[in-house]
Amino acid sequence: MLGVIVFAHGSRDPLWRLPVESVAQQIARSDPAAAVSCAYLELCEPDIATAARQMVEGGATRVRVLPLFFGMGKHAREDLPVLMKDLQEAHPTVRFEQLPAAGEDPRLTALLAQIALEPAP
């Protein structure tokens, strides 16, 4: 079973989480068979270890982590690979896959450019 963790930095502001949760909801609508969860580096719960453990306990055998970072900064480049290694060690029978930072996808940058050029509502 596929699991997807939408991974973001985290914030104390509860409204900050809404777009992150919206991405997770859209993934779940697109693939109802996939387990989908949000996880946060800090300031919010669950952390990535908790989200992964819950997915594995629910039957996930493959977990993709989508980092919702605009670029490959320190968190995506340094912190997340360490967390991914820890996940793999904690769940050796599960395949973990770190996707590129969302902002590194040319489809997202093209969409943002399109949005910037659209007439204001």
Q: What is the pLDDT of residues 56-79, one digit of tens each?
A: 999 999 999 999 998 666 777 788
CB within 8 Å of 71: residues ≥ 6 apart = 101, 103, 104
pTM for the model stands at 0.92
Spatial distance between the Cα atoms of 105 and 99, rounded to a whole number of angstroms: 10
Model confidence at 50: pLDDT above 80: yes
